[in-house]
Amino acid sequence: MGILETYEVLKAKEAEVQVEKERIEVLSKFAAFAAQELESQFPGQWTPEDQAKLAAALIDMAIAEEQEQEKVAEIRDSAKIFAREVWSELEALSQGQ
């Protein structure tokens, strides 16, 4: 393997490490938030398993919310396209009269 190929492999691994760091940071934030919420609602009465379950549920909710936002954006874009087409048709009809 030449120097260029070695460099490319190292850059790819560096990118993978960065992605993993970002994932760990996000998961840590969810875990910390879950611990705060559990402590505020059930002081001293929760376990790490409760924290993991709540963090997982929060992550699932965040993913579902993001998917819904993507669907809304797709619908909005489709509605804009439809509105432009209707407007064009109306303009064409009004010019034809």
Indicate the pLDDT class of residue 97, thresholds 50, 70 and 90: low
CA-to-CA distance for 50 and 12, rounded, in angstroms? Answer: 37
Indicate the pLDDT class of residue 4, thresholds 50, 70 and 90: confident
Global pTM exceeds 0.75: no
- For the segment 9-60, what is each residue's pLDDT rounded down to a tens digit? 899 999 999 999 999 999 999 999 999 999 999 999 999 999 999 999 999 9
Predicted local confidence at residue 96, as pLDDT? 74
CA-to-CA distance for 29 and 62, rounded, in angstroms? Answer: 13
Taking residues 70-80, what's their average pLDDT? Answer: 96
- For the segment 32-45, what is each residue's pLDDT rounded down to a tens digit? 999 999 999 999 99
Residue 67 has pLDDT above 70, yes or no: yes
Number of domains in the chain: 1
Give the residue numbers spanning the domain of 47: 3-96
Output the CA torsion sign for 73, 79, 82, 84.
negative
Q: Nearest CA to 31 among 56, 55, 57?
A: 55
